[in-house]
Structure 1
Amino acid sequence: MDADGTTPPEVADKLGKYAVGARIVLGGARADTGQTPKTTVWTKNKARLYRYEPEQPKEHAVPILMVYALINKPYILDLMPGNSLIEHLLAEGFDVYLLDWGVPGDEDEGMAFEDYVLDYILPATKRVLWTSGAEGYTLFGYCMGGTMAAIYASLFPGEPLRNLVLLTTPTDFGPEGTGLLGTWTREEYLDPDLLADAFGNIPHEIVDAGMQMLRPVHNYVGTHASMWERIVEEKPMETWLAMNKWVNDGTPFPGAAFRQWIRDFYQQNKLARGELKLRGRKVDLANITCPVLNIAGEKDHICTLPQARATTDLVSSEDKEFLVLDAGHVGLMTGRGARQSLWPKVSGWLAERSA
């Protein structure tokens, strides 16, 4: 403090920047996310099916139904204006829908994959067709949502399913390709029944901690180092705030689905082996014959390349492409290169197959 009792400008500036960072660390990041205008066209339990309002007249006859994972929230697909795959697809003349699972309550702990695939995705596809007036649709799945989309496509192949887009989607959970996550979920280390019996739905804090521990230095140290760097050097904070909010905005993992995800997928690899059944119906990815765009991130530590690459070999489609981008699991969608790589690739590939 100066002799006259005032704080020097440079000190006030440093204190102000410190206050900004402290508020984020203590109170969490705040950002306006998922801002693209939309309307709800169908509901069931906690789930909502949204139709996004087009920015221009529809140019493509085939609508897109997006399906995200059961954990975290789907606004990663519509993070913020200027950083939104959904916004991009609308600008390219597509009719876009999103199935939002919502936040499960204690009464939903018995929800399993057969419930989500057969009782939610199936009627959602019918509502998309009814609302759009289209004769076919594209199914777009991201992460676990892609796994569910692939399962659905195998059970309901052919028309009206026109295209299948899978983004960082694991289908082969063999131990040689699942990395550290596969090691942690081995039967001798993890009993999913114990967790599900104890909690019902698995709290998102437990799931988040597991995901962050896959890269602890980056997630626990690097994230905040990046925050302070941006604050001190007065770099733009909007995208960082939106991403940090999303990362920490998880949802509980429904207990029954968690049991299946660990035991049937990670521990027993039933999907790739053709042994997975939903209500007695065998799931065989070889049933899929529609065009498939399968995209993976070379730096993805959650869905590794072997886990995603297997889909291309398992499906029977003649028109199929496996694309590897130089990005991680989330950076592939919202990182600096997404506008130049992922978004135009998806819209261009679909434009050729959505007449």
Structure 2
Amino acid sequence: MTASPFDDFDRLYQANLARLTLGLTPAGLGEAYGAWLAHLAISPGRLAELALFPWLDWPALLDSSKDGAKDPRFASSHWQLWPWQGLAQGFAQAERFWQRATTGIEGLSPQYQQILAFAARQYLDALSPSNYLASNPDLLHTSLQQLGQNLVKGAQNALEDWRRNLTCEAPVGTEAFEPGRDLACTPGKVVYRNGLMELIQYQPAGPSVHKEPVLVMPAWIMKYYILDLSPHNSLVRYLLEQGHSVFMISWKNPGPGDRDLGMEDYVRDGALAAIDVVQRLAKGAPLHLAGYCLGGTLALLTAAHLGSRPDNPLQTLTLFAAQGDFTEAGELMIFVTPSEVAYLKSMMWAQGTLDTKQMAGAFQLLRSNDLIWSRLVHEYLQGERSPMSDLMAWNSDATRMPYKMHSEYLEKLFLNNEFAEGRYQLFGQPVAAGNIKIPIFAVGTEKDHVAPWVSVHKVHLLSTSDVTFVLASGGHNGGIVSEPGRPHRHYRIALKKAQDPYLSPKAWQEAATPQLGSWWPAWQGWLAQHSSGQVAAPKGLGSRQYPPLGDAPGHYVFDK
């Protein structure tokens, strides 16, 4: 149905309103609050419990007083003294009150309860006594010790960040991490480029390589070099050193003119175009396809599309923190209600893309205490800058999302779960996960707030082939960038053959034995196991048909 001028006016109004509400729909929040109040109104027992909560909560209050503060914000010895201990205990009691007020309400949808609990946590995190000089004994102690110099340094830090934000400069310290010099510096050549991506072929590390090359598709939410950071923690470099031939997609950072790029464009001009080039350069050999996060979802769609072909060019499929079934996608579902998706679509319709700051803001809200408030206290009140790392520098190098593609992703995959339910279509034909007959290696991470591992684990339900699943320590990024030799790392791994019974995430976790160290060697061994032997490494990169277009990391990685 063609949109009328009145519909366009609504979308324009909502797009402007979204800039004031940080992309969160007031209608959706109002809907959740209205349903909550309606259910509370017919729950006199819960209302009575909430009215009596301060008295009913005395055992928990005494327990926290006896055991000391469990919240890391109140862990220092200063918080154990009066009156600071009372502030910490009162805050913990407020958290318990709102947890009880917003969850476990009979008849209220789980998603509404999740939204309400999330909103309550945002307000509470903002009001925490640890965030303010007058109510934080650690800050008062530091200020007395330094005669207020920490506040002077903090003000300077805040002014510098404000200036950089205003001029769209990268955060302080990122100048020490430049792609092509400090990051993304594994030798290679761009051997193919179109309007959506560049394909990088890396220089083999030895005279021979495994016959089947590895093609990696990163997410286009961020730049590709999360998998080629510094030389010591580059997954690309590690694979090369183990004798693999490696290719990487570097996505273009879309602008408003790319608003009509859809998921089919990313499949056709991204995944399929790269697979065709890689296979030609590998003299027809099948390849190992690997995808990370949203790139993993694209890899799943591509593998399902190719799985129905008799000449399937894929040997294996690897998924890093990637989802195909979104029924348990964690707190991100807060931002994927019908109301919220419609609101975001209006905002993207007006802009042509989802802006980098709007995307980053949503992820920061999921961990507002760690990523927002604790950082503000540390840098602006303590006056201390956290040292920049390669991963932090990469995290600040975000990209935009095209209006059409991100609308399709949110609506069809995330909200309606069409791929997992067999209703998703590519090029006019349905693509089903059951078409994927090749072995799968999937990695989830224990502390992932973007793609929770129980959601990644659902690949066991999607696939009819053998699945090797890894649960690694760390979060969405740190759990994947987990090079050998890095301390305090562990993982669990188990193989489920196609005929084996399904294990729930909890049962799988109990059955899989923990192992110390990095999971990278386990994946490399799996790749080698599913390869057919060594061949001579190419003498040069590219070919007559695909001559090198320039050195890695290419041009698209520098798009702002």
Structure 1 residues 161-170 or 260-269, which shifts more? 260-269
Shift of 1:323: 1.4
Q: Which residue of 2 aligns with 1:206?
A: 358
Aligned pair partner of 2:280 in 126, 130, 133? 130
Give percent identity, aligned residues only.
28
Secondary structure of the structure 2 residue equivalent to 1:286: helix
Secondary structure of the 1:251 match is coil
Q: Given that residues 164 and 290 in structure 1 are in contact (C-alpha distance below 8 angstroms), is that contact kept between their aligned partners in structure 2?
A: yes
Change beyond 3 A, Cα 1:222–1:56: farther
Tell me the CA shift for residue 70 of structure 1. Answer: 1.9
- Quote how far apart the aligned CAs of 1:42 are: 0.7
1:265 partner letter: L
Question: Deviations along 1:300-325, whole A, 9 cap, x unmatched?
Answer: 110012321111221121x2212111
The residue type equivalent to 1:340 in the other structure is G
Residue in structure 2 matched with residue 3 of structure 1 by the alignment: none
What are structure 2's unaligned runs of at least 5 residues?
A: 1-145, 165-169, 491-515, 533-560
Find the residue that maps to 1:334 and give its secondary structure: coil
Q: How does 1:1-355 map to 2 (within 5 A)?
A: 22=157, 28=171, 29-30=174-175, 31=177, 32-157=182-307, 159-174=312-327, 177-191=328-342, 192-222=344-374, 240-317=388-465, 319-335=466-482, 336=486, 337=489, 340-355=517-532
| Closer, same or farther: CA 159–202 of 1 in aligned 2, 3 Å | same
The 3 A distance-change label for structure 1 pair 227 and 169 is farther
State the TM-score, normalized to the length of structure 1. 0.86
Contact 1:168–1:329 (CA under 8 A) maintained in structure 2 = yes
> SS at the partner of 1:59?
strand
CA contact (8 A) 2:196 2:270 kept: no
Tell me the C-alpha RMSD between the 2 structures: 2.6
Q: How far is 1:279 from its partner?
A: 2.1
**Partner SS, residue 33 of structure 1:** coil
Q: Distance in 1 between matches of 2:417 and 2:479?
A: 26
1:56–1:63: structure 2 CA closer, same or farther, 3 Å change rule?
same
Cα drift, residue 57 of structure 1: 2.4
Report how far residue 24 of structure 1 moved.
Answer: 8.5
- Displacement of 1:47 in angstroms is 1.1
| In structure 2, distance between residues paired with 1:204 and 1:347 | 33
CA distance in 1, matches of 2:333, 2:231: 36
**Which of the pair has more CA radius of gyration?**
2
Q: Kindly state the Cα deviation for residue 221 of structure 1 after the two structures are TM-superposed.
A: 4.3
Q: In the aligned structure 2, how far is the partner of 1:197 from the partner of 1:179?
A: 26
Contact preservation (8 Å) 1:312, 1:321: no
Q: Separation in 1 of the partners of 2:266 and 2:285?
A: 23
Q: Deviations over 1:87-122 (max 9, x none)?
A: 100000100000111211222110111111023211
TM superposition score normalised by structure 2? 0.55
- Residue 232 of structure 1 and its aligned partner are, at CA, apart by 7.5
CA contact (8 A) 2:262 2:405 kept: yes
Task: For 1:164, give the aligned amino acid.
Answer: L
Give the whole-Å Cα distance in 2 for the aligned partners of 1:92 and 1:226.
41
Change (3 A) 1:225 1:341: farther
In structure 1, stretches of 5+ residues that fail to align are 1-10
What corresponds to 2:553 in structure 1? none
Q: Secondary structure at the match of 1:270?
A: coil
Task: Quote the Cα distance in structure 2 between the aligned partners of 1:224 and 1:142.
Answer: 30
How far the C-alpha of 1:132 sits from its partner, in A, is: 2.4
Task: Flag the 1:41–1:323 CA change in 2: closer, same or farther, 3 A.
Answer: same
Is the CA contact 1:58–1:95 (under 8 Å) kept in the aligned structure 2?
Answer: no
Runs of 4 or more off by more than 6 Å in structure 1?
224-228
Aligned match of 1:4: none
- Are residues 149 and 226 of structure 1, via their aligned partners in 2, closer, same or farther at CA, if it must alter by over 3 Å? farther
| Whole-Å separation in 1 of the counterparts to 2:201 and 2:448 | 30
Pick closer, same or farther for the CA change 1:326–1:211 going to 2, 3 Å.
same
84-93 or 332-341, which moves further after superposition? 332-341
> How far off is 1:193 after superposition?
2.4
Q: What is the alpha-carbon distance in structure 2 between the residues aligned to residue 72 and residue 269 of structure 1?
A: 23
**Offset, 1:56:** 1.6
- The Cα offsets for residues 240-290 of structure 1, whole Å up to 9 and x where unpaired, read as 421121111111101101101111112111111111112211110100011
CA shift for structure 1 position 58: 3.0
SS in 2 for 1:152: helix
- How many equivalent residue pairs? 331
